[in-house]
């Protein structure tokens, strides 16, 4: 009955698991709505610079300004706005300049000098401005995809894009990555925003280990259950204890959750409701002996999570356990 019900719902042919049991093999690539970026994924960052006329110009990182004191020319300086958004003036030290108009910065410098100079009356003029925008345009102008940059998520979960320090993106949704990138760029390039698109996803996979014929990583090709994943791993080995198959998945906070799946009962009863659908980064472990509750909690589960999948899990001190009958 199980083979009949599964084959009826499949647009593709069934795949053998063991003992002539069959399960469908859906080859359609897909991403779930909660897909999180993983190491090896590739994203495209498209740049959009607001070139509309602005009422005021605000000083940006990389700008060069001229600070002058009509009554104290010995303090005159040409200053570059550093990456931290500050400039250094004589006898005062560092002053925040980023995001201020030249007049606002002049007023701030004047206030700083009033305790030591009589009528400092500082003025600030722009010598070179828009340097960050020019540098950014230079960095992306050779891109074959227009004003954009392809970024590969490195094994440490970070990406490198122009003008910014490497950003961690693994374990995040695309929209959250876009918001973070825009926040960082606004600190150095006012009026610039980006859009982020997932170009290539290799992290939509599960890990199957233990008493299966071909353990390893498997790409999710469509909505996939635990038994279908075991089929992708070419079925159980003879010593497999299928009634105690362990599924490690995540809750809504991405904390690890352990669940025992009784695959033997699923086959014997034909109860498809217990054949749990898998999510990205789920881990299946088929034991060779029965598992006690203590074996699927805490540090034991944490040790089962491969390092690259650990970028997606939030490994808290406690690990929840849910029995398949719960």
122 φ/ψ angles, rounded to the nearest 5 degrees? -70, 150
Predicted local confidence at residue 27, as pLDDT: 47
Mean pLDDT of the region 75-80: 93
Give one DSSP letter per residue of 61-121, joined into a string.
TT-EEEEE-TT-GGG-EEEEPPTTSEEEETTTEEEE-TT--HHHHHHHHHHHHTTTSSS--
Q: Are 50 and 216 a contacting pair, CB within 8 Å?
A: no
Predicted local confidence at residue 160, as pLDDT: 94
Higher-pLDDT residue of 13 and 139 is 139
Residue 111 tokens read as 């206030």
Predicted local confidence at residue 23, as pLDDT: 47
The lowest-confidence range among 82-86, 105-109, 318-322 is: 318-322
Q: Which ranges constitute the DSSP H helices of the chain?
A: 2-9, 102-113, 131-140, 174-186, 226-232, 263-269, 299-304
Indicate whether 4 pLDDT > 70: no
Distances (CA, A) of 208 to 49, 86, 171, 219: 46, 52, 20, 11
Predicted local confidence at residue 13, as pLDDT: 44
Q: Are 241 and 290 a contacting pair, CB within 8 Å?
A: yes
Tens-place pLDDT, residues 239-291? 999 988 999 888 888 888 888 888 988 888 877 777 889 999 999 999 988 77
Predicted local confidence at residue 7, as pLDDT: 40
Percent of the chain exceeding pLDDT 90 equals 40
Percent of the chain exceeding pLDDT 70 equals 81
pTM above 0.75, yes or no: no
The lowest-confidence range among 193-207, 226-240, 297-311 is: 297-311
């Amino acid at each position: 009955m199980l083979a009949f019900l599964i084959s009826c719902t499949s647009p593709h042919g069934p795949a053998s698991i063991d003992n002539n049991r069959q399960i469908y093999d859906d080859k359609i690539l897909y991403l779930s709505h909660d897909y999180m970026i993983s190491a090896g994924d590739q994203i495209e960052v498209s740049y959009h610079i607001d070139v509309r006329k602005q009422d005021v110009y605000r000083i940006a990182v990389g700008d060069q300004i001229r600070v002058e004191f009509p009554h104290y020319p010995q303090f005159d300086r040409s200053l570059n706005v550093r990456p931290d958004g500050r400039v250094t003036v004589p006898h005062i030290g560092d002053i925040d300049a980023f995001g201020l108009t030249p007049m606002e910065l002049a007023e701030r410098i004047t206030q700083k000098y009033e305790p030591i100079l009589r009528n400092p009356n500082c003025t600030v003029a722009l010598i070179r401005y828009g340097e960050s925008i020019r540098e950014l345009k230079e960095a992306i102008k050779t891109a074959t995809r227009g004003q954009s940059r392809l970024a590969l998520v490195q094994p440490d979960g970070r990406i490198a894009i122009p003008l910014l320090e490497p950003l961690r993106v693994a374990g995040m949704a695309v929209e959250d990555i876009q918001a973070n990138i825009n926040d960082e760029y606004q600190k150095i390039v006012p009026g610039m925003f980006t859009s982020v698109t997932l170009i290539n996803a290799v992290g939509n996979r599960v890990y199957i280990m233990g008493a299966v014929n071909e353990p390893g990583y498997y790409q999710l090709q469509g909505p996939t259950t635990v038994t279908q994943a075991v089929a992708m791993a070419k079925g159980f080995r003879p010593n497999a204890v299928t009634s105690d198959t362990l599924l490690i998945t995540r809750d809504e906070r991405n904390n690890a959750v352990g669940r025992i799946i009784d695959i033997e009962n699923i086959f014997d009863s034909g109860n498809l409701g217990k054949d749990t659908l898998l999510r990205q980064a789920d881990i299946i472990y088929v034991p060779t002996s029965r598992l006690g509750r203590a074996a699927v909690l805490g540090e034991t589960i944490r040790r089962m999570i491969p390092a690259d999948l650990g970028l997606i899990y939030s490994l808290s001190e406690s690990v929840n356990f849910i029995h398949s009958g719960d």
